[in-house]
Amino acid sequence: MRQVKELWFEDGDTLIYLASKDSDRAPSFLVDSITLLASSEFFAVALSPIWQSSHVIDTVKYPTAKYSLHFAPDRSFSYNAALAKTKAYANNDDVKLLKHYIVIRNIIGFVFKVNCVGLECYDGLLQDMSGRMLMYFEGVETSVAQQLGVYVTNSDLWDVRNQPEKALDLLIFASNYSIDNLMLESMIHCVGM
């Protein structure tokens, strides 16, 4: 994944990679550590010296960078040589990986109040985001979900007209966390389609 312009702040001090530490991929985001630290204890731990010591930052290429974070794909993306020969497996794995990147991008976007992005075919985005956000952010599930609900509304993800899968995803998400305005909006579209 390349640099994401809306999450690349020239004065940022934290490089975020959508890859493991041993990957040769370039960072996708350059953001401010103070905003990350204020959002979650997860980032306080991840930016601590003990976790930062194992990765050397190229300060010539990224002069403002002091920290790096790596969000490697889940272990379920392991390479299977026998299955990789089939086109169906490769396409499915590519889609899973892309969905992983989208979820991480949207979580960082959530922290920096940058609009959410998605795919037309990504019908489980809200469920995936809420599950991942519960890992990274403190507070009870309802608090995280309420914050995600505001983000969904501000990013226009609540507009699910003529998109039955997304309407259902929004309805499940909203009903799981009792977000009335989103539940009503999604129910209206689910009934009307």
Q: How many folded domains does the chain comprise?
A: 2
Same-domain status, 135 and 68: no
Is residue 46 scored above 60 in pLDDT? yes
pLDDT at residue number 26? 92
| Torsion sign (Cα): 58, 35, 7, 160 | positive
Same-domain status, 81 and 170: yes
Secondary structure (3-state) at 69: strand
Same-domain status, 183 and 89: yes
Expressed as residue numbers, the domain containing 6 is 1-72
Same-domain status, 34 and 101: no
Q: With bands split at pLDDT 50, 70 and 90, how would you rate the model's confidence at 90? A: very low
Among residues 47, 40, 23, 17, the alpha carbon closest in space to that of 112 is found at 40
CA separation for the pair 4, 177 (Å, rounded): 30
pLDDT at residue number 141? 62
pLDDT at residue number 15? 96
Span 157-166, pLDDT tens digits = 667 778 787 7
Same-domain status, 192 and 115: yes
- Residues 25-41 have a mean pLDDT of 93
Residues 6 or more apart whose CB falls under 8 angstroms from that of 78 comprise none
- Residues 29-53 have a mean pLDDT of 91
Q: With bands split at pLDDT 50, 70 and 90, how would you rate the model's confidence at 82? A: very low
Q: Kindly report which listed range (41-50, 131-140, 184-193) carries the lowest average pLDDT score.
A: 131-140
Same-domain status, 53 and 91: no
CA separation for the pair 58, 37 (Å, rounded): 22
Does this model's pTM top 0.85? no
Same-domain status, 86 and 138: yes
- Residue for token pair 């994944």: 1
Same-domain status, 153 and 141: yes
- Residues 148-156 have a mean pLDDT of 78
pLDDT at residue number 91? 53
Among residues 100, 112, 110, the alpha carbon closest in space to that of 30 is found at 112
Among 35, 50, 72, give the residue marking a domain's end: 72
Helix (H) or strand (E) holding 3: none
Is residue 25 scored above 80 in pLDDT? yes
Same-domain status, 129 and 63: no
Same-domain status, 48 and 87: no
